[in-house]
Structure formats: structure tokens, C-alpha cells
Structure 1
Amino acid sequence: MAQDPPAQDLMHYEAMAQDALRGVVKAALKRAAAPEGLPGAHHFYITFKTDAAGVSGPQDLLGKYPDEMTIVLQHQYWDLAPGETFFSVTLQFGGQPKRLSIPYAAVTRFYDPSVQFLLQFEPPPAAAPDSKALPAPPAESQQEAPASGAGGEAKIVSLDQFRKK
């Protein structure tokens, strides 16, 4: 007896789930942009693809990190502006303020080490070379986020558990 072919996901549930989880990043950045700033010990490590469509920043900075960059929003960030599809922020790199604009779709990792909260996303496709915006590399305020914090295990939300095997 022949089996039916697997059903095709015409609803694109995985993409919808990724978009919904990126909404958590947007909501967290909106709280951080409020006049009170980040509450308590919260701070963010945000990793993004520098070659993703819509990423912009100083070429000298983005050129140092042609693939991926991690920024830290903790004590020294200015003019955080979370929009509907991207956010902008000014950070210090080598003592110089530099403005970055990052689409939420370019974010591959969001980590708040104060509560061990981690979201990881599928990387977006790279932008075409002629449409590539300026990429931003990490400097003094950018570091790689630790895999887990001092207090215990990181909370990782992965979509793999929902995929058909």
C-alpha cells in the first residue's frame, strides 16, 4: 500500500514562529528604550548578520565583521530606537560613537545573561553585493555572548522540537 506524500506546509509555520519570537526582541528593546532604561541587571547581547539586507552602519566598522557581529546593550548605548521592522542604536567603538541600524530579520541571537534567556534564529539570506548596506563589527562594547551564565543553564528556545522528523 502506497503512503501519501508528506503534507507541504503552505502556511509557513516555522517562519511565523520565527517572526513571533523576533517580536520578543522588539518588545525587550522597546522597554530598554523607555525613559527608565533597562530594569535591574538586565542587559542584552544581540548577534546579527552584517551582510543581511537592511543592515547599515559605518563601513569601517562593518567591514571588520563581514559575516556576523555581536553588540552589547548595557551601560553605554544611546538613542535606542526600536521600530516596527528594525532598530537603531548608537554605541562606542574605539572611543567614537557609531550608529547602527539592524533589521529584526538580521538578528540571529538575543541573549540576556542576567536571567539566562536566549533566543536563536535561522540566519537570513545574505544581501546581494550591490544592495548590501554597511555592516557593523563589534568593538569595545561588543563581545561574544557566553553560552551560559554564572547562575546556571541558559534558557534556549529552539524551533527544532516543533519540526517534523
Structure 2
Amino acid sequence: MTRSIDYGNLMHRAMRGLIQEVLADVADRGLPGSHHFFITFDTRHEGAELADWLRERYPSEMTVVMQHWYDALEVNDDGFGITLNFGDSPERLYIPYDSILTFVDPSVEFGLRFETQDDGSDEDDPEDPPRPLRATRDDADTSDDASRRPSGEADVVQLDKFRK
């Protein structure tokens, strides 16, 4: 029997631990400065708790924004509970870390994307490791350089541009 290191799952666990640590800090001390979060999660996840009308409106995934108004943020080892405002109607949600698809803080251009496999995929394929998601303010940039740049990869800066 060949044993191997499952780097994909180890990365997922580490990234979800980072989300837990960030949210625990926010629960204790509030959102600092202009930080805010876009969190997309799988509403079909068995541990996800949301109002029936939200589940009907978002049958597969939903993005919530943690910014100006949120209440009762409670963070535990498996996920977090939060009350958010939906059209002047406060609703309680519970979001398991395992259900999170993306976590983005656009104020500092930080993001995480969790890649998942469909149930019908080939079992021999290794799980895709998570990739950092780059959220930028200039996503609408249509210049030639931006359109040729592969998405999700870092910019390469040429120092010649800055030489006199």
C-alpha cells in the first residue's frame, strides 16, 4: 500500500483555519479600518443553516457581505454564525467552513478560493489544491497586458519601466 501526503486537503484545512482566526478576531474586536468580506458558500451543504426563503432564492450558492451591519458573530471550530440584514429583515445564518467556496477581503486585495470536484468526476484525479484568488480594483481593465495575463496569477513587474 502506497502512502502519500494529501497536500490539497492540508491546504484546505490551513486556509479554513486562517478564516476562523480572522473571524474570531473580528468577533472580539470588530472589523478594522476599511476591511470587509465577501463570503460565498454552498447553500446545499448539510451544515449550512439559513432561512427557507433564502435557500429557495439561492439554491446552490450565496455570497454574503460582512461590512457595515452584522450582528451576533459567533465563531467555533466548525463554522460561524452571524445575523445579517436582507432588505431590512435580519436573518441568522450558520456557515460551516467546509461550505465556503470563496473568502475575499477586497480592501487589501486578499482572497481564497476553494476548488471542489463534482461527485461524478474521475476518482483517480487528485483533488485540485486551493488557489489564491486575486481580487483587484482594476478587474475591468481591458488593456492588452491585462487581457493576456492568466487569471489568478501574480503580476510580473519589469524593473525597466522604472529606470530613467
TM-score (norm 1): 0.70
Shift of the 103–150 alpha-carbon distance from structure 1 to 2, 3 Å rule, reads: same
1:15 pairs, out of 9, 27, 50, with: 9
Q: Where does residue 113 of structure 1 map in the other structure?
A: 106
1:90 and 2:80 aligned: no
Residues 117-159 of structure 1 show CA distances to partners (whole Å, capped at 9, x for unaligned) of: 0100024879xxxxxxxxxxxxxxxxxxx95225999xx59xx
Three-state SS of the structure 2 residue aligned to 1:99 is: strand
Q: Report the CA distance between 1:9 and its aligned residue.
A: 5.8
Code of the residue aligned with 2:137 in structure 1: it is G
Residue pair 1:105, 1:124 contacting (<8 A) in 2 also:
no
- Unmatched 5+ residue regions in structure 2? 120-133, 147-151, 154-164
Higher helix residue share: 2
Three-state SS of the structure 1 residue aligned to 2:57 is: coil
Q: Could you tell me the percent identity over the aligned residues?
A: 39
Alpha-carbon distance between aligned partners in 1 of 2:71 and 2:117, rounded to the nearest angstrom: 26
- Unmatched 5+ residue regions in structure 1? 1-6, 127-145, 158-165
Higher relative contact order (CA 8 A, sep 6+): 1
Q: Where does residue 31 of structure 2 map in the other structure?
A: 38
Q: Where does residue 137 of structure 2 map in the other structure?
A: 149
Alpha-carbon distance between aligned partners in 1 of 2:100 and 2:9, rounded to the nearest angstrom: 14
1:25 and 2:19 aligned: yes
- The Cα RMSD (Å) is 2.7
Residues 33-112 of structure 1 aligned to structure 2 (within 5 Å)? 33-34=27-28, 36-112=29-105
Three-state SS of the structure 2 residue aligned to 1:114 is: helix
TM-score (norm 2): 0.70
Residue pair 2:104, 2:135 contacting (<8 A) in 1 also:
no
Residue pair 1:48, 1:108 contacting (<8 A) in 2 also:
yes
The count of aligned residue pairs is 129
Alpha-carbon distance between aligned partners in 2 of 1:75 and 1:67, rounded to the nearest angstrom: 26
Residues 58-115 of structure 1 show CA distances to partners (whole Å, capped at 9, x for unaligned) of: 1111110011100000010000111111100000112111000010000010000000
